[in-house]
Amino acid sequence: MKTRKIQKAVFPVAGMGTRFLPATKSIPKEIMTLVDRPLIQYAIDEARAAGIKEFIFVTSRGKSALEDYFDHAPELESALRKSGKTELLEVLKDTNMDSGAIAYVRQNRPMGLGHAVWCARRLIGNEPFAVLLPDDVIAAEKPCLQQMVEAYQETGGNMVAAMEVPPEKAGSYGVLDIANDMGSIIEARGMVEKPAKGTAPSNLAVIGRYILSPQVLTNLNRMKQGAGGEIQLTDAIAEEIGPGKVYGYRFRGQRYDCGSKAGFLQATVAFGLARPDLRDEFAAYLAELNAMQKAAQ
């Protein structure tokens, strides 16, 4: 199947991050660091690995630090160069974006994920695009969006990342109604946003990675309010349901919900232990801490 190349990605980052107050009183949640890299950097690196060339950020007031993060820092770079700290200079290169590669649009009202994506419609134009939610950090040997792009080349249509969740937690997600389960790729016959307890059509939940056709933006133009009174992206995708039009993709990797404090802490431990320069010292500390807790019981 011949598909158009995915070159644009939308990053909805307009939320206020109230679950992380007071930290987010002065810094955007997306700049909070997981070990030594901001959440947004993980999403950007994943998008780059998937071949994304144009990065669209949907922001709001108070997000200027996010914009500054991706700009060059001449004074810092000069100081590192003079000090001979070439390794740190290389680290900084990943944070710099070429002129024109990144664009910012404002979401001036918090009306949901669907509305945030709709705000980027003029920059997306009439071509397929990706959406990445930085709160969902995915540790994988091959980045999640890259896996999806490769699968999309076979299927076309629309594709959402999916993972199995305990049935009692299905009500916190958009959930797929499965028409045809082909292993990694699932053809959907329906999608339900935050189903009521006991009504979920499956336990296959949609998480924050999407490859979407421009028709989804047309659906969002109608601005129908869904669950929670918000404009739901899931609803706009569900309108595309039909033979060969909407797929779920069971990605290979571990997803961490860094929109919650517990998930953020879990990700910090996992990514810390995965770092060769931190693993031994950090693992020894965790073992010591665990031993102390057992001794105190």
Q: How far apart are CA 124 and CA 221, in angstroms?
A: 14
Q: How far apart are CA 176 and CA 161, in angstroms?
A: 10
How does the average pLDDT of the chain come out, rounded? Answer: 89
Does residue 295 sit within a domain? no
Task: Give residue 228's identity as a one-letter amino acid code.
Answer: G
Does residue 98 sit within a domain? yes
Q: Specify the pLDDT at position 256.
A: 96
Q: The whole model's pTM is what?
A: 0.90
Please write the tens of the pLDDT for every residue from 166-186. Answer: 988 888 888 998 999 899 999
Please write the tens of the pLDDT for every residue from 258-283. Answer: 999 999 999 999 999 999 999 999 99
Mean pLDDT of 49-71: 88
Does residue 285 sit within a domain? no
Instruction: Return the SS3 of 137.
Output: strand
Does residue 288 sit within a domain? no
Task: Give the CATH number, domain containing residue 145.
Answer: 3.90.550.10
Does residue 131 sit within a domain? yes
Does residue 293 sit within a domain? no
Provide the domain limits for residue 61. Answer: 8-259
Instruction: Return the SS3 of 180.
Output: strand
Q: Specify the pLDDT at position 271.
A: 95
| β-bridge partners, 209 | 132
Does residue 274 sit within a domain? no
Please write the tens of the pLDDT for every residue from 210-223. Answer: 999 999 999 998 76
Contact between 175 and 201 under an 8 Å Cβ cutoff? The reply is yes
**How many domains would you assign to the chain?**
1
Does residue 143 sit within a domain? yes
pLDDT band, residue 151 (cuts 50/70/90): very high
